[in-house]
Amino acid sequence: MSYSIDIDPRAQATIAALPATALPALAEALAVLELVPWNGRSVNPELNPDGPVRNLPFGAAGMPTYLIVERDQRVDVLLITWAG
């Protein structure tokens, strides 16, 4: 079973500004989120290791922060961080 991906408008704006070389790695990360979003790391691993808000690095300098909405089989991408 796969999860649907919903990308917040602010994250979409960040994606639009990414360099073209970052897009294949981002596409791979989003494909992972569709299949196994729980593989990302909790944003608060000490206090809430099983929490639904997670990060999954991509490429050399990127990371989406996302929320897993298990009951709807959906991943909401809240933020894309790019340090490249």
- pLDDT tens readout for residues 3-46: 999 999 999 999 999 999 999 999 999 999 999 999 999 999 99
Using DSSP's 3-state secondary structure scheme, residue 44 falls into coil
Residues 4, 47: Cα–Cα separation, whole Å: 27
Give the pLDDT band of residue 77 (cuts 50, 70, 90): very high
φ, ψ (nearest 5 deg) of residue 56: -140, 105
pLDDT of residue 1: 82
The pTM score is 0.94
Please give the average per-residue pLDDT across 62-76, as a whole number.
Answer: 98
Domains assigned to the chain: 4-82 (3.30.2310.20)
